[in-house]
Chains A and B, each alone.
Chain A
Amino acid sequence: MVSNNIALGHLPQKEVNQLVRVISTMGLLPILLIVIVAALSIFEPRFLGIFNILNVLRETSFLAILAAGQMLVLIVGGFDLSVGAVVALSSTVMATVMANTLGIMPDEVGLVIFIGVAAGIGCGVVVGLVNGLCVAYLRVSPFMVTLGTLSIASGIALLLTNGIPVYGMPKVFVNGFGRALWLGLPTTVYVALTLVIIVWAIQRFTVLGRYIYAIGGNLQASQVSGVSTKRYLITAYTMCGALAAITGVLLTARVGSGQATLGGDIMMLQSIAAAVIAGVSLRGGIGRVELVTLGALFLSIVTNSMNLVRIDSKIQTIVLGVIVIFAVALEEYGNRRKIRE
């Protein structure tokens, strides 16, 4: 149950209960989304421009993939600070690998792209694996582990590039994929949609999904019930790393060069924010990817609207911080008001 209940003044008890029930099953998010979209449509005509909508969808896609991974780790009761750095690492590694292999075999563009993408995603898998292993076996707190890998991953990314963008990726990859539209929509939207559906299916229909919920709900109990908790902890972190790396790959294809400045702290914070807004519990055990996608959409729209009215990007980060704190406070409040039988 996503429990974003709100204070409702002194309405009659029956109606309050009904409203609380609706909100706690759906979350506050859909309502917020409708309100903000309606308000923007009325007050800011540029918001509904086709170019702007595509832009919002593209941003949402990047964030949704990243936040889906973050959500998995949050559900097992941890969190991953390294996702932003993984985006940068996969971006620079992929671009470097592609540029070099293209020099060796200029005719095998397909193979070059394949190797480059595999290398990029591989980085994420490795970082995620390291995170998972440290949390599961060394029992280091997720905060410290992922703070460490954040530092390591961004260090490697900077070292690889000296901070200079890496060009030289195949043109097809950038123009035919990263910047292309299929059936009128950015390609990233399709990738994101596919990944979200896969994560959704894992959460709903598979043993893996069930165990991820169980471990976050009560680690001890899962162990006693015969769940190999370590294995699933590692799986969750690895999936998160892989999803972050995929975000890096898509961003790089869009931008056209590998950059150590992609992702970064802002995307990490946004991924946590999108998850928390969508009712993912910081204590673990609760979270649904379809709502997290809405959370990503909400954040993208908020950012987009601030861009449209030319709010300074420094102020935008302040707004992001406020939203995160507000969302967490709301979750806590909902928990306390939960009606027991």
Chain B
Amino acid sequence: MYKDSDQVLDTVISSPANTGEEVPSSSILEMRGISKQFPGVLALDNVDFDLRRGEVHILFGENGAGKSTLINVIAGTFPPDKGTFRYDGKDVSHLTPHRARVMGISPVFQEFSLIPNLTVEENLFLGRETSTSGFLRKKAMSARAAKVIEMLGFDLDPKKRVSSLSRAHQQMVEIAKALLADVRLLILDEPTASLTENETYKLFELIGRLKADGVGIIYVSHRMREIKEIGDRITVLRDGRKIETCNAADVGENELVELMTGRKIDVLFPKIDHKPAEKLLEINNLTLANHVVEDVSIYARAGEVTGIAGLVGCGKSELVRAVFGLEAIEEGEIVVKGEQVSHPRPDISLSKGVCYFPSDRVAEGLALERPIRENASMAALNLADFSWMRVLKKLSERKLIQDIVDRLKLRPPNIERAVGNLSGGNRQKVMLARGLTRETDIFLFDEPTVGIDVGAKVEVYDLMKELVDNGAAIILVSSELPEVLNLSNRLYVKQRAKLVAELTGDDMIEQAVLSCFFQDEEANSNAGA
């Protein structure tokens, strides 16, 4: 194991450009004709891909386009069926995750490779502990962990357990873990999905330093701004095939989206006509048992989108989850359509017309082995349309779900397919379908577009518009600022469990929201945390 990765890391992270001897444009990775077949899908079809030293190569494509298959092949998770794989000028076969790491390939996947019950520093060293004859050298590792975290500029306590960290902090641990060893090829799979602006900025700085050191970086992202900011070249994948590789400077946004989807998309955010009517939902002085939300009061009206913005871990998700009945409430009042609800429960909330769409669709939303039909009707089986005297009405179920699925443009529209086979965007549509099976007028969207592609995003936004036009109240919780800014009529900003601002009309600009976040940063450093 890397007993002396100290120096290695120092050269990678701290010293800018000291590998001047190497030819910067030479390829570190060359893949030719890579194919990968999974049961039922050709995930990669004769794909060529190469990565130069010191470049950021963006992988761009819709979900299910083959991006994650490709990075998994590179990381050694599974072998390709066909094609050649040259790394550092040498042919490589029989790659395993372990060998890939030894060779300097460090992947940062969206699904974290962290052990919840271990501390941050224990996780950093997992699989390559510093040890003498089987005994851990804890002091040495602590010192290095602290050093690495400091160099990365992350706000992380190495002694904390990973399970107690927010997703953003876990993402930082994952990145730190990837950079602990001698990295020559770094894979980042949507690394900023849960980072704040400030943390993103730090990450980009770090990417700059790694580039200068000749590290090749494969970067998967849906976010245009990032792609423009850090990308050198872009490879667009669609349906497992490589569509094009181009220089980032040479293509425009629309062009990229067209390449990705194979069709034109005019506007991302629809124009929503907010016609605020009566208050459907009121939350007064709400405090949760775990104190992730403290003394928060908000309301949502029919015919408008109410946005909630905030840093990751500020409790904005927990707020709507509490309304639906998924978090323990310590104090406060929730009023649904004028009726006070002291202890919300999901079944009661549903019957009152409140519906929640979780951000983690796999963990909290869907039974992956079961078909779309069953997943969509799950919340409505007690309705007369779906059952009579506890006996299911399959015909009626099939018809109703098929209608909804068609309305949501779920493709292919076969409602008997298992949800596990669907892409992220389609899975979200199944979730939405579930919400539409009942009479619902309060919709709680929790990060509705995380991990879904542009095409599906537009359809989700269009559905929101349709719902609001029909007089529903929507609460939209999102970490993507453009999303909440463009779709909301009123925007609440949360920081550290508390509500700090309510913005409306012309005040709803990025700068105003960011300054609320910035206050938080100051408070943070004053508290010495």
Contacts and interface: CB of A to CB of B under 8 A. Distances in A.
Contacts of A224: 77, 97, 107, 109, 113
A341 B122 contact: no
Contacts of B38: none
B146 interface: no
Contacts of B111: 220
Nearest to A339: B290
A207 B113 CA distance: 18
Given A1-B161, A222-B126, A225-B126, A208 B117 contact: no
B144 to A, nearest CB: 16
A206 interface: yes
Contact of A208 (B97, B101, B118, B134): B134
Contact of A207 (B97, B107, B131, B289): B131
A207 B77 contact: no
Interface in B154-187: 161, 164, 166, 177
Contacts of A338: 164, 290
B101 to A, nearest CB: 5
A223 interface: yes
Interface string B256-273: 000000000000000000
Given A218-B116, A285-B115, A341 B164 contact: yes
Contacts of A218: 113-116
Given A207-B131, A223-B97, A217 B116 contact: yes
B115 A207 contact: no
Interface in B375-413: none
B100 to A, nearest CB: 9
A129 to B, nearest CB: 20
Contacts of A208: 134
Contact of A206 (B107, B136, B166): B136
Interface string B132-164: 001110100000000000000000000001001
A35 to B, nearest CB: 27
Interface in A208-224: 208, 210, 213-214, 216-218, 220-224
Contacts of A340: 164, 166, 290, 292
Contacts of A339: 290-291
Contacts of A225: 97, 113, 126-127, 177
Central interface residue in B107, B116, B161, by most chain A CB within 10 Å = B116
A226 B177 CA distance: 12
Nearest to B111: A220
A171 interface: no
Contacts of B202: none
A205 interface: yes
A214 B136 contact: no
Interface in B73-118: 77, 97-98, 101-102, 107, 109, 111-118
B459 interface: no
Contact of B112 (A221, A227, A285): A221
Nearest to B98: A226
A248 B500 CA distance: 64
A281 B116 CA distance: 13
B129 interface: yes
A213 B118 contact: yes
Contact of B101 (A1, A226, A228, A336): A226
Interface of B: 77, 97-98, 101-102, 107, 109, 111-118, 122, 126-129, 131, 134-136, 138, 161, 164, 166, 177, 289-292, 313, 328
Leading 8 A-B pairs by shortest Cβ distance: A217-B115, A226-B127, A225-B127, A221-B113, A226-B98, A285-B117, A224-B113, A225-B126
Given A222-B115, A224-B77, 10 more contacts: A214-B118, A218-B113, A220-B111, A224-B97, A224-B107, A225-B126, A226-B97, A227-B126, A281-B117, A338-B290
17 contacts: A205-B136, A207-B134, A210-B136, A217-B115, A220-B111, A222-B113, A222-B115, A222-B126, A224-B109, A225-B177, A226-B98, A227-B127, A336-B328, A337-B290, A340-B164, A340-B290, A341-B313
